[in-house]
Structure 1
Amino acid sequence: MTTTKAPTTTVPLLSATGLHVTFPGRRGGAPARAVDGVDLDIAPGEIVALVGESGCGKTTLARTLLGLVPPTSGSVTFTGETLTHTSRALKAYRKRVQLVLQDPSGSLNPRHTVYDAVAEGLRIHGHAGDEREAVASALSRAGLRPPERFFLRYPHELSGGQRQRVVIAGALVLEPELLVADEPVASLDASVRGEILALLLSLRDELGLSALVVTHDLGLAWNIADRVAVMYLGRVVETGPVEEVLTSPQHPYTRALLSVLPESPGPPIVLTGEPPDPSRIPAGCRFHVRCQVLASGEAGGVAGACRTSALPVLSGGAGARVACHAVRPAAGAGS
C-alpha cells in the first residue's frame, strides 16, 4: 500500500505548543512528566503517525489533544482557536475531533445494536437532521454496505474488521475534521489490517479528513502516514516526512525501532533496559542511558553533552528534524 501525496497547505488544523502533562507522584513521590514539552502540528488532510514504545507518553499526548486530559501547561489550538476545558467548549470540540479506539470489542456496548452504537453521538449532540439517513451514510462510508443490513445486528454477530468499521462509522457520523486513532489495527488479524488502513486513506482522500494515528508499529506508519513523529519519554525526538524518517533515520532510537522490522536489512539493535520512569527523567539527552551510539563510543566529542546537556523541543511544523547531540540539530528547533 502506498500513500497519496501529502497536503500542500502549511496552515495547521490542530497545533500543540509547549505541551506538558504532569501527574502527581505516588505516595508523595516525584511527579511523573508523561508529556514533557511537545510541539506538534497536523495540517488539513494530513495523516501523522505518532510512534514509540509503550509508556513513552504517546497515548497521554493523544488524550490531551482530544481534550480528555487537561495540559499542565502549554496549549492546544484547533483552526486557530485555543481549546478551553469548559463543558460547552469541549462538547463542541469533540464533535469536530473524534476518537477511534484500539479494541472495538471493548468500545462497543454488547447490548446496543449497530444502529444505536453509531447513532449515539448524534443523540448526545442533539442532531436535528434525519438520524437514519446519517447513520446509513456513516456505515456506508465505513465500508459496511448496504448499511441497512447491519442496523439490527449486535457486535458479537460481526467479525473483528466489521466491528472496527462500526467504531469508525460512529466517529464519522458527526462529520469530524480530525480522527485520533489509537492503535486502530492492533487487535485485528493481519488479513484485515490492510483493509482498515486503506479505509482510513480513502476517508482522507474523499472527505479531506486529517488523522493522528498512534502506534508502536513503524511499518504501519510507512503504509499510512504523510509524516511521522517519534516519541520517547515524553518528547518527540525525531519528526519529518515519513519517507525521510523511515528510509534515513537520524536518531539512534528511531534506528533501533526500525531495526526490528522484518524487512530491515541489518541485525536488530537491542536497547538495554526499559525506558526510564517519567518521574525520574535523566539529565542531558533523555535517551542517553540506552543509546547504542553513546555506549559504542561513536558519540565522540559530544558524549559529555549527551549526559549533561538537555536538548531543545522540536518545533511542530513540516520538515525533518532530530533532537540528538550526535546529529547536528536542524533549523526550526525550539528552545
Structure 2
Amino acid sequence: MTTDQDIDLAVNRAVLQARNVAVTFPARRGRGQARAVDDVNLGVGAGEILALIGESGCGKSTLARVLVGLIRPTSGTVDYGGRPLGYRGAELKAYRRQVQLVLQDPAAALNPRQNVFDAVAEGLRLHGLRDQLTARVHAAMEQAGLRPVENYLARYPHELSGGQQQRVVIAGALALGPSVIVADEPVSSLDASVRGEILKLFLDLRDRLGLSAVVVSHDLGLAWNVADRVAVMYLGRIVEIGTVEEVLITPQHPYTKALISAVGSTGERPHPLLMGEPPDPTRIPSGCRFHPRCPLRAASGERGRVCDTIPLPVLAADAGQRQVACHLAEG
C-alpha cells in the first residue's frame, strides 16, 4: 500500500515532468487558434500512478501525446530524468524506449496481419533490439499476464478477447523496458468484466517493476482504483491535484465536485451538477475559465464577481502537495 510519505518522496524525484507546457493548434475554417493545453505543470514520480481526469475535449489526450513525444509543445518543456526532451531523431527514439504510450482501442492499435509474437516484437525490431528477441518477447508477455505464453504466440488479434488484445498492446510497451507508461483511456473500450483485470495489471506492474504510469481517463472510478494521485483538468488547465483520497473524498474545486456528483456524491450532501457544455477552446473565458459553468460562482453573488475577470495562478502541480485553482474554494 502506497503511503502519503511514499507519494511525497516519489514526486520529489519525479521521473517525468511537464513544465509550463502549452499546445496551441492553428486557426482553421474561420475559427481562431485553439489552446488545447495551456501552461500545464505535471509530474509523475518513480513507481507512482497518476490519474489525469476530465471531460472529453479538456486536453487530456493532447497532453498525453506531448508526454510521449508525439506532439511537440508550442511552449514549455517535457523533462525526463531531470533533462529536457530533445526532438532530434536519435534522442527522441531513445526517449520513446523509456516512455511508452498505450492507446484506448487495442483492436485499432494492433495490425490484424501480425500474430501476437510479431506484435510484441515490433517495437524491439524498430529500435534494433534483436539480441535475445524471443526471450524479451516471452518475458514481456509474462509480465502482461498472457500465460501460458505458448498459447498466444501464433494467435492473431481477431482470435483474442478485448482484454487479451489490450494485454498484447501492454506487452509490446513492456518489451522495450520503459520506466513510464502513459495510458490514454486504457479500459474504456473493454467490457466491465475485464476492466478490473487490466487495472489490476497496472498495479502489479507498479509493484513488481517499479513502473510509473500516467493514466488518462474521464472515469473517476478508475482513478479511485489505481491512482496514487489525481490531477483534474479543465479546458487545458490543471485545476486540482492531490492524493486520490484528498481529491475524490474531500474535493475542493467546484469542477471536481461536479464530476463526482455525476457518479454519486462521496459526502453527506450531493454537490451541484455541471451547467451547460465546456466552452470552445478557441474562445476561453476571461478570469477563471470555469466560471460560466460554476455552481459555486452562481451561488456566490457579489463575492463571485472576482471569478469573471481575475485570472487564476497556474498550479505547480509537481510540488507534492494538494493544490486548487479556484477563487472561491474552501482551503
* TM-score, reference length from structure 2: 0.95
Residue among 68, 73, 76 paired with 2:75: 73
Q: Does 1:288 align with 2:294?
A: no
- 1:161 is matched with which residue? 163
Paired residues of 2:317 and 2:323 also in contact (CA < 8 A): no
Any residues of structure 2 matched to 1:141-152 within 5 Å, and which? Answer: 141-152=143-154
Deviations 1:242-287 (A, max 9, x none): 1111100000000000011146565563322211011100000000
Show the 5 A alignment for 1:64-213.
Answer: 64-213=66-215
Q: Deviations over 1:159-209 (max 9, x none)?
A: 111111001000000010000000011111111111111110000000000
CA contact (8 A) 2:248 2:266 kept: no
* CA distances 1:18-48 after superposition (whole Å, capped 9, x unpaired): 1110000113532100001100111110100
Whether 1:304 and 2:319 are equivalent positions in the alignment is no
Match of 1:272 in 2: 275
1:71 is aligned with what amino acid? Answer: P
Give the match's secondary structure for 1:26.
coil
Runs (5+) with no aligned partner, structure 1: 330-335
What do residues 128-170 of structure 1 show as CA deviations (whole Å, max 9, x unaligned)? 4211111110001100111121110001111111111001000
SS at match of 2:42: strand
Residue from 261, 276, 284 that aligns with 1:259: 261
Secondary structure of 2:29's counterpart equals: helix
What SS class does the counterpart of residue 132 from structure 1 fall into?
helix
AA of the residue aligned to 2:274: L
Measure the CA separation in 1 of the matches of 2:330 and 2:78: 29
> What is the rounded CA distance, in whole Å, between the counterparts of 2:92 and 2:30 in structure 1?
31
Structure 2 regions of 5+ residues with no counterpart?
none
Structure 2 residue aligned with 1:15: 17
> How many Å apart are 1:4 and its aligned residue?
3.7
Matches within 5 A, 1:220-231: 220-231=222-233
Name whichever of 127-136 and 219-228 sits farther off. 127-136
Once the 2 structures are TM-superposed, how far is the Cα of residue 87 of structure 1 from its aligned partner? Answer: 1.5
CA–CA distance in structure 2, aligned partners of residues 282 and 263 of structure 1: 28
CA distance in 1, matches of 2:123, 2:101: 12
2:264 and 2:317 mapped to 1: Cα distance?
30
Aligned to 2:41: 39
Letter in 1 for 2:250: S
Q: Look up the match of 1:239.
A: 241
How many angstroms does 1:80 deviate by? Answer: 0.8
| Separation of aligned partners in 1, 2:32 and 2:262 | 34
> Which secondary structure does the structure 2 equivalent of 1:238 belong to?
strand
- The superposition leaves residues 291-327 of structure 1 with CA deviations (integer Å, 9 ceiling, x where unpaired) of 0011123x652x1210000001000221111000002
Is the CA contact 1:228–1:241 (under 8 Å) kept in the aligned structure 2?
Answer: yes
Q: 1:203 to 1:184 in 2, by over 3 A?
A: same
Q: Secondary structure at the match of 1:27?
A: coil
**Which amino acid in structure 2 is aligned with residue 149 of structure 1?**
N
Matched, 1:249 2:251: yes
Give me the TM-score of the superposition, normalised by structure 1: 0.94
- The one-letter amino acid paired with 2:275 is T
**Separation (CA, whole Å) in 2 of partners of 1:304 and 1:259:** 25
Aligned to 1:333: none
Counterpart residue number, 1:324: 326
Q: How many residues align?
A: 325
Distance in 1, matches of 2:70 and 2:272, equals 36
CA contact (8 A) 1:39 1:316 kept: yes
